[in-house]
C-alpha cells in the first residue's frame, strides 16, 4: 500500500495510491483543500487541511486508515461527484 505517483501543477499536488479504497487525491496548497477520490468513483473535498496532515496522509502506510482517523470527521467536507 502507499503512494504510486505524484505530480505538481498550478500549486496543486496530484497523487495516485495503491490502496484498497482510495484511488487518488489532489491537494491545493494555497486553499488548503484536499480532494479524495475513492475507487467507487465518489469524490469528496475537505477544507482547511493543513499541509502537515496532507503530507502524513500521502506518506501513510495505509491511506484509508489515516483518512478515517485524521481527516474524515475532522475537516469540513462535501461530495463533489
Alpha carbons within 13 angstroms on the beta-carbon side of residue 37 total 13
pLDDT digits over 13-42, tens only? 999 999 999 999 999 999 999 999 999 999
Cβ-contact 39, 2 below 8 angstroms: no
Which of 62, 70, 57 has its CA nearest to residue 27? 57
| pTM higher than the cut 0.85 | yes
Residue 18 burial (CB count, 10 A): 10
Q: How far apart are CA 37 and CA 16, in angstroms?
A: 9
Q: Which domain holds residue 73?
A: 2-79
| Whether the predicted pLDDT of 81 surpasses 80 | no
Q: Which helix (H) or strand (E) holds 51?
A: helix 51-59
Amino acid at each position: 500500500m502507499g503512494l504510486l505517483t505524484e505530480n505538481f501543477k498550478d500549486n496543486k499536488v496530484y497523487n495516485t495510491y495503491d490502496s484498497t479504497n482510495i484511488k487518488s487525491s489532489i491537494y491545493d496548497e494555497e486553499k488548503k483543500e484536499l480532494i479524495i477520490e475513492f475507487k467507487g468513483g465518489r469524490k469528496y473535498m475537505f477544507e482547511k487541511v493543513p499541509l502537515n496532515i496532507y503530507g502524513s496522509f500521502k506518506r501513510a502506510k495505509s491511506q484509508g486508515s489515516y483518512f478515517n482517523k485524521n481527516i474524515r470527521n475532522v475537516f469540513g467536507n462535501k461530495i463533489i461527484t
